[in-house]
Amino acid sequence: MELVEHWVLALSGLILLASGLLELPLGRRYYVTEIPSVTWAGDFFVVLYIHYAAAILFVAVAFFHLFYHGLLGHNGLIPRRGDLKAAIVVIKSLIGKAEEPPFHKYLPEQRIAYAGMAFIIAMLIFSGLVKTYDNLVNPQLPYILALTATWVHNVFSLFFFLTFLVHVTALAIRPNRPLIRGIFTGFVRLDYVHDRHKLWLNDIS
Ligand code: HEM
């Protein structure tokens, strides 16, 4: 279930980012529309409908995630007291300046990143819904409300892109590489868990 949630959110999020940039319209400015078979990228309504279609998936999976894991009481990714301090120790350990502490299923960095990403996603959904309401239901929304929604949507799109880059870069760091297999297959190596996630191993064995 978590793999499905991850990939639906990741793919719909990337489609939203790309279609949002094309809405601006960056496609024509940077000659993307000159590429044969990509001429549609310059048609505002085509990219807007792609944005709406991806938004339906994005919003649905975000709400599913909240209710499904909320009802089952899953809290492994909720930040805990002391996570910030522990995250600094982990970063120091990556550059050889400290000993890495044993981990639960998730690293303190992952819990902090989860909270940050959840906030960014919530702001994108909220501002996106206001913009959709403005487009489809009431184009007479007060100017200041429409303008604020557009600014929030744009600024958090940039944050979404930056956190996506940090997320992918974190996986390239050598000690995190065994996790790449996990997000495709749902499995990680037992010796990796033994070395790094002793607290989790204690919980489940
Ligand atoms: C990863 C999530 C998302 C990203 C990166 C993203 C990005 C963007 C960008 C860059 C634009 C163009 C600038 C603008 O008009 O503000 C845009 C427009 C828009 N987005 Fe999103 N968006 C996301 C999610 C959503 C969601 C979830 C919804 C709806 C619930 C939504 C609805 C809209 C609407 C209605 C527009 C305006 C289209 C128009 O100009 O008429 N977006 N988005």
* Domain 78-205 CATH class label: mainly alpha
For residue 137, report the distance from its CA to the centre of ligand 1, in Å.
Answer: 16
Determine if ligand 1 sits within 6 Å of the CB of residue 131.
yes
Please determine, for residue 188, whether its predicted confidence score (pLDDT) is greater than 90. Answer: yes
Please determine, for residue 120, whether its predicted confidence score (pLDDT) is greater than 90. Answer: yes
Cβ atoms 170, 145 nearer than 8 A: no
Phi first, then psi: give them for residue 127, nearest 5 degrees.
-65, -35
Question: Of ligand 1's atoms, which has the minimum distance to the CA of residue 135?
Answer: 41
Nearest residue to 157 (alpha-carbon basis) of 125, 111, 134: 125
Cβ atoms 190, 151 nearer than 8 A: no
For residue 20, report the distance from its CA to the centre of ligand 1, in Å.
Answer: 5
Q: Distances from the Cα of 22 to the Cαs of 18, 28, 85, 128, 194, in angstroms?
A: 6, 8, 41, 16, 46
Determine if ligand 1 sits within 6 Å of the CB of residue 48.
yes
Higher per-residue confidence, 107 vs 59: 59
* pLDDT, tens digit (0-9, with 9 covering 90-100), for 58-92: 999 999 999 999 999 999 999 999 999 999 998 88
* pLDDT, tens digit (0-9, with 9 covering 90-100), for 156-180: 999 999 999 999 998 898 888 999 9
Domain segments of the chain as ranges: 1-74, 78-205
Query: Model pTM?
Result: 0.92
For residue 100, report the distance from its CA to the centre of ligand 1, in Å.
Answer: 40
Position 174 scores a pLDDT of: 87
* pLDDT, tens digit (0-9, with 9 covering 90-100), for 34-51: 999 999 999 999 999 999
Instruction: Provide the percentage of residues in the chain whose pLDDT is more than 70.
Output: 100
